[in-house]
Amino acid sequence: MPTISIIVPNLNAGATIGRALQSLVDQDYPGLEIIVIDGGSTDNSVEVIRQYQQYITWWVSENDLGQANAINKGFAKATGEIVNWLCSDDYLTQGALKIVGREFAEHPDVDIVAGACRLVYDLEPSRNRIEQPTEEKLSVMPCCNPIPQPSCFYRRALLKRRPPLNETFHYVMDFELWNYFISNGNRWRLISNVLSEYPLSGSNKITTGGVKITLEFEKVYRLYTNERIPATFWHRRLRYPLERLHRRYPNALFGFLIYYPWQCLMILILSPFYGFKRMRWMNWVEFS
């Protein structure tokens, strides 16, 4: 079984980092290296980290330049053959690392193993679901992000560029990394096992980032495509205005009579130029 390094970036998440670290300890994986990078938290984070100090290979608490910078610090300290990062409000499911280790051991030609993730809506449990990566969605990146970050593990040898994560991205640094892997021709293996749990509490970056997330998605798209007129140009002009209107009038009648038919029409119009599958899966929205 390969050695695995998990980077845990944290900033003022004292309420959740204990559970994240416990989920790593409970893996009972013999070759696990835990590295915690705290960004100078002012809550009880450091106190919690010290409670797990016997299980942590290396940790630090100091100011940094953001989450991507913190993770890069962790990558620089990592020695495991396989790496990933686990945000301090996410958790690995029981036995996840043994599944990952076995996949890499049995498939030595594979560079990346990505599994499913359980999305948990704290305030709306009825929305809970499992996000499963698929080959179809993977084939149309960067039109969508089908890979749940805490469930994606890769060989440390892939992190050849310096720094490994593009620190200009605050929200979608994982999405940019997946496209970097694809551009290098790295080999993926998608599995159905649920490897992680991703709570959506309403305070996560993904739920508070707003339009900044969309702007970063668009930046990655332009970075990894070579289109004379990027598809994002048409989305910004044909799709986003209607989405703003739909949020203003979120009734079923508006959706069925105007919003969804227009979405279908836009896909059909753009498909001859960009491909049907790519337009179908370009589903990010202009968050308000």
CATH of domain 4-207: 3.90.550.10
In angstroms, the CA 19 to CA 164 distance is 27
pLDDT at 171: 93
pLDDT at 208: 60
pLDDT value at 288 more than 60: no
DSSP 119-151: EEESS-GGG-EEE---HHHHHTTTS-----GGG
**% of the chain exceeding 70 in pLDDT:** 95
The 10s digit of each residue's pLDDT in 167-179 is 999 999 999 999 9
Strand 152-155 and strand 129-131: the pairing is: unpaired
The 10s digit of each residue's pLDDT in 6-61 is 999 999 999 999 999 999 999 999 999 999 999 999 999 999 999 999 999 999 99
Please state the φ and ψ torsions of residue 280, each to the nearest 5 degrees: -65, -40
The 10s digit of each residue's pLDDT in 230-273 is 999 998 888 888 888 887 877 888 888 888 899 899 999 999 99
Counting DSSP H helices and E strands in the chain, the numbers are 13, 9
pTM metric for this prediction = 0.93
